[in-house]
Structure 1
Amino acid sequence: MAYTPAGSFTTRPTLQGTFGMTASTHWLATASAQAVLEQGGNAFDAAVAGAFVLHVVEPHLNGPGGDMTGVFTTAGNPSEPVVLMGQGPAPAAATREHYLAEGLELVPGAGALAAAVPAAVDAWLLLLRDHGTWDLADVLSFAIGYARNGHPVLDRVASTIASVAGLFREHWPTSAARWMPDGNVPAGGDIVKNVAYADVLERLIAAGQDAEADGGTPAPRPARIDAARREWRDGFLAKAAVEFLAEPHRHSSGTDHAGVITEADFAAFSAGYEPAATLEFRGHTIAKTGPWGQGPALLQTLAILDGFDDEHLDPSTELGAHTILEAQKLAIADREAYYGDAAVPLDYLLGREYAAERRQLIGEKASHAFRPGGVPGHTPFLPPLRTEYLPPSLAARGDGAFAGVGEPTVQPTGETRGDTCHIDVVDQWGNMVSATPSGGWLQSSPAIPGLGFCLGTRLQMTWLEDGAPSTLTPGKRPRTTLTPTLVLRDGQAVAALGSPGGDQQDQWQLLYLLRTIVGGFEPQQAIDAPAFHTTSIPGSFWPRTWTPGGAVVEDRLGDGVIAGLEARGHVVSRAGDWSLGRLSAVVRCPKTGVLKAAANPRGGQGYAAGR
């Protein structure tokens, strides 16, 4: 063991048991998923139930109009990590030429032009069909109950609505009607309902129940779930969304535009499964999405760090924090240069020789440069590097930043707009799943009448510049930041983890992996430990700026360590003692059958449960 936790303090115990464990970003989702396990459901039934609850109780962080990615293993095939692909592509009419003709320089961070095809619901239903055991009505009963009967609204939901109340009243009246039905912003703790979304879920259930097999008998369970999927893609939902968003409305550009998504776009999408991208690190296999997500950047970072001794891998020291920050900059520069829904030279980028080459670039001082590597046969894309950006239309009027832009996440000052969501589940049989749902948060675009939600904004992660692996292209997936993690050892899944946080998701997960794999921390100790991340990268979200040499740290990292980082040239922003990191995790020991769970204490919202 190279380093040990400083003292024994944790905010909570690491839960331990043998029956089943759940951890997520909201206690109601955790409780609902755990209730499914208690009633005989497996990890996949539980994760789907919890995910739909997240739509209801964290609407500022995700919604049914958004996207998700997951990675899982089954008890029957524990050595094979599988990616659940719930990232929709750009609509057929979402061409860079159209957006440029609309006077845009960037894909907006809010408004229907930023919407990829909604994918989260179809992905969750696919997982339930193939790997769950429960009927759809039973799985959705938790979400329907909270939506129809109400739940105490989070303070952060209320503050998010308050931040966009002017936008809603002036430009998005359907959102004002949905989230401020009496004209006032709800207060934390108020009972809020989403009856329209409860109705949507019940119509999906009814579509399945109405499905019949040959001879007029009720269709079997998989066919009923497929009928619900068809209703989502081909039925009332797509029609309502397309008709409504065809009307011009205000975008984060400060200008009005109509959406380009069509019913055919809805109908053409189907979620699916893909092999995971993997890397061996210190006796563990780390499994992530492919390079249409940012996940392999974490693998690249680990490959670079694997060549250092353990002293360089302690996030709580000046040397360790510096080394980690510099490795992250190099890996994420490659993310910008090479990743996308395209032919990505991933084998080369994850290779030992390339990692050794990149490792040599880490010196004693912080780099303020954007430094992608060279890959034979590939020209790296060099994105626009802006330290600040305001659209011409807003600048001309003297307007400030658009209130609803980007993925809700932690700002360099430590200010928190919100986050994405995350859920992890492991059951007594050894099924394990990690999933990060996001997009379609209430400030994404105008609420669609009769549905209770809006569409997402994932297309803002594409470029309007030509020649990038992530240039906006019809039918191509945007390079998502959603990046859950699965860890295997000796051919068995041993941990599922993830975090909200946009560009910070993998940066915070890296700290957890180093502290647990190298440092020997327990899960809750690793989650509680001080966090940091680099902002010396082009942001994935509108307005896509960067801070050369930027590093955001929790003050608990210590004055000495922070001063040392500043002396090395890092442009440090202090974010407060408990502000960075949103991780949750579940763990399984295949030899003993012991299960563990832990969740983020920051913000008093994430919770783990199990026995």
Structure 2
Amino acid sequence: MTTGAISSTHALATQAGADILAAGGNAFDAAVAAGLVLQVVEPHLNGPGGDLPAIFWKDGKAQVLCAQGPTPAGATIAHYKAEGLDLIPGDGLLATVIPGAFDGWMLMLRDHGTMELPTVMAAAIRLADEGHPILDRAVDTITKLGDFFTQHWPGSAALWLQGGKPPEKGGLFRNPDLAQTWRRILDLATGETREARIDAARDAFYRGFVAEAIGDFCATFKAMDASGTAHSGVLTAGDMATYSASYEAPLTYDYNGWTLAKTGPWGQGPVLAQSLSMLPADVVASLDTTGTDFVHLVIEAQKLAYADRDTYYADPALVDVPMDDLLSDAYASARRDQIGPTADNTLHAGTVPGFEAQVATMADVLERLSLPEGAVYEPTMAHLATDKGTIPRGDTVHLDVIDKWGNIVSATPSGGWLQSSPTIPGLGFCLNSRAQMFWLEPDLPGSLAPGKRPRTTLSPSLAWHRDGRVLSFGTPGGDQQDQWQLLFFLRFAAQGLSLQDALDAPMFHSTHMPASFFPRSREPGGLVAEADLPEATRDALAARGHVLRAVPKGSVGRVTAALRHPDGRLEAAATYRATYGGATVLP
């Protein structure tokens, strides 16, 4: 029996998790250690002030960990309109919701891990304090924003422009303030039991010195943002004090012997299930994995599923989301019948009985706002951006862990990117910008409101087969996450490719839907395809009406996966596109 398997988007995080597994820790211990390291080594993709959804498998059951923070009490449409905004900017302090990632990791460790907090935090603290080789894309992001940091965000300039200039690519980069923040939390993490000590660490962050520093900063600092105006935040220490991560049952969908588990519609995860509902496994299995019919069918199904995402998905604790209807066989059949032989380049949401007015209102808002055309790129695809003058956006990381006891974790942390919000002096990290996914228009499922979770793009996946296999997978990529995961899952679960081959096959995705990120732009009919998709396929797709753009091989998608077989054998894989990623199976 192997000790465990782990894959992630950065080799140092994979190594940190592997070290925990080798030392006798379980998948939850390893996931926390790897997750905290990712906050250090991929700071342009996630951070301590970010968000965390995870799906895990324990004792033969899947469960969702929701560490997606809701909006502060002061986050009202009236306040944002009074600030002169029609869209929530993608950066600055008004885009911030309560940071959930730290509490999520701590809750996971407390309830399901076995190790003490100093042990699982050791690698992250060491790398922050002693330094790590900084990634080229992180340096590119810092370089592009250097003048902006110096002029508008002095805390960010002090951290990321040490010595007044961007760090050297590949050189060691240190974040001593973050290391000190974590050490101070550990100093305060006292108690008679392991669980009490972890809860004390949670209190230090959400009801102690970290929350106080965040609240003071949001109240006193006016941060320049993409609106062209400086704004203070509305997040307070009081908001922080009320927060706790939570557990919930996953949304599930059966497909070709597999049961897929996703988050609820407070995330975009159900869009993967909706896409599968329109793509029968026997039809998919009969198609060439890189052929015209396969690509066309997948893209058209995704357009329909994403149109439903934008019209219906929201925090189900506050909004009625008809998920059962959207995943019903009858609804899927009706939507499938709408897929024709040529590209449909309109935004075409389906209508669930009783929701006709909602569909019409959303369509009216999208038309009235006249969203700009052109794709929004995260760092995963930053090299593909045509507008080099835009401020770099943030992105996401992912990790999958399996231990020898059969516990599995799929987690997709994000937010708190170094480019999203000014670094808070003394803490060594910044806040998230997840509120940009809300609309400042009333009466929509995604309208801004206090205490509401944003409809995030973060979308980890877990699936189990009736033969006993259990699969964990996910990727960074914003709106593309469930598009790339769909390709991987179809190729693996319906077309029979191996784990690695399914990850490495040519990727493509649609940019037809409005982006979840400011300025909510879209490319009507847009289809981005890697150049190793055959030229004949690309030409045929263009002839069918797709607005196709070929990009270099290996340009898009950073999917990672891990698989447990019924006999205990483990596999872990990371696509070759994950330049800095890594996967390992421990003996």
TM-score w.r.t. structure 2 length?
Answer: 0.94
1:272 aligns with 2:254: no
In 1, Cα distance between equivalents of 2:382 and 2:282: 30
In 2, Cα distance between equivalents of 1:445 and 1:454: 6
| Residue in structure 1 matched with residue 224 of structure 2 by the alignment | 250
Aligned CA distance change for structure 1 residues 313 and 372 (closer, same or farther; 3 Å): farther
Structure 1 residue 452: deviation in Å?
A: 0.3
Match among 471, 484, 505 for residue 529 of structure 1: 505
Q: What is the DSSP-based 3-state SS (H/G/I as helix, E as strand, rest coil) of the residue aligned with 1:438?
A: coil
In 2, Cα distance between equivalents of 1:327 and 1:284: 20
| Residue in structure 1 matched with residue 389 of structure 2 by the alignment | none
| Residue in structure 2 matched with residue 215 of structure 1 by the alignment | none
Q: Over the residues paired in the alignment, what is the CA RMSD in angstroms?
A: 1.8
In 2, Cα distance between equivalents of 1:489 and 1:308: 17
> 1:314–1:321: 8 Å Cα contact kept in structure 2?
no
Match among 313, 317, 322 for residue 296 of structure 2: 322
Q: Deviations over 1:363-414 (max 9, x none)?
A: 0000110010001111223342577549xxxxxxxxxx9xxx9854426946
| Residue in structure 1 matched with residue 136 of structure 2 by the alignment | 155
Matches within 5 A, 1:28-427: 28-74=12-58, 77-78=59-60, 80-209=61-190, 211=191, 219-246=192-219, 247-306=221-280, 309-310=283-284, 314-341=288-315, 342-378=319-355, 379-380=358-359, 381-382=362-363, 383-385=365-367, 389=372, 408-410=379-381, 413=384, 419-427=395-403
Q: Structure 1 stretch 417-426 or stretch 249-258: which is displaced more?
A: 417-426
In 1, Cα distance between equivalents of 2:288 and 2:409: 28
| Residue in structure 2 matched with residue 553 of structure 1 by the alignment | 529
Structure 1 residue 425: deviation in Å?
A: 0.2
Structure 1 residue 493: deviation in Å?
A: 5.6
Q: What is the DSSP-based 3-state SS (H/G/I as helix, E as strand, rest coil) of the residue aligned with 2:413?
A: strand
In 2, Cα distance between equivalents of 1:226 and 1:328: 42
1:23 aligns with 2:4: no
| Residue in structure 2 matched with residue 608 of structure 1 by the alignment | 583
1:599 aligns with 2:583: no
Unmatched tracts of structure 1, length 5 or more: 1-16, 212-218, 391-400
Structure 1 residue 593: deviation in Å?
A: 1.2
> 1:82–1:273: 8 Å Cα contact kept in structure 2?
yes
Q: Deviations over 1:183-222 (max 9, x none)?
A: 011111111111111111112212223x3xxxxxxx1111
In 2, Cα distance between equivalents of 1:314 and 1:345: 34
Aligned CA distance change for structure 1 residues 388 and 351 (closer, same or farther; 3 Å): closer
In 2, Cα distance between equivalents of 1:83 and 1:493: 19
> 1:65–1:455: 8 Å Cα contact kept in structure 2?
yes
> 1:286–1:488: 8 Å Cα contact kept in structure 2?
yes
Match among 487, 490, 499 for residue 514 of structure 1: 490
Q: Which amino acid aligns with 1:275?
A: A
In 2, Cα distance between equivalents of 1:519 and 1:180: 49
Q: Deviations over 1:410-466 (max 9, x none)?
A: 269467966310010001110001000000000011100000000000000111111
Q: Which amino acid aligns with 2:14?
A: T
In 2, Cα distance between equivalents of 1:552 and 1:388: 20
Aligned CA distance change for structure 1 residues 164 and 414 (closer, same or farther; 3 Å): closer
Identity of aligned residues (%): 49
> 2:314–2:446: 8 Å Cα contact kept in structure 1?
yes
> 1:414–1:574: 8 Å Cα contact kept in structure 2?
no
Q: What is the DSSP-based 3-state SS (H/G/I as helix, E as strand, rest coil) of the residue aligned with 2:189?
A: helix
In 1, Cα distance between equivalents of 2:436 and 2:160: 24
> 1:313–1:323: 8 Å Cα contact kept in structure 2?
no
1:435 aligns with 2:411: yes
1:476 aligns with 2:447: no
Unmatched tracts of structure 2, length 5 or more: 387-391
> 2:395–2:417: 8 Å Cα contact kept in structure 1?
no
In 1, Cα distance between equivalents of 2:36 and 2:583: 17
State the aligned residue count: 570
> 1:410–1:418: 8 Å Cα contact kept in structure 2?
no
Q: Which amino acid aligns with 1:601?
A: Y
> 2:285–2:494: 8 Å Cα contact kept in structure 1?
no
Q: Which amino acid aligns with 2:381?
A: V
| Residue in structure 2 matched with residue 539 of structure 1 by the alignment | 515
Aligned CA distance change for structure 1 residues 411 and 452 (closer, same or farther; 3 Å): closer
In 2, Cα distance between equivalents of 1:67 and 1:129: 18
1:447 aligns with 2:447: no
In 1, Cα distance between equivalents of 2:514 and 2:274: 17
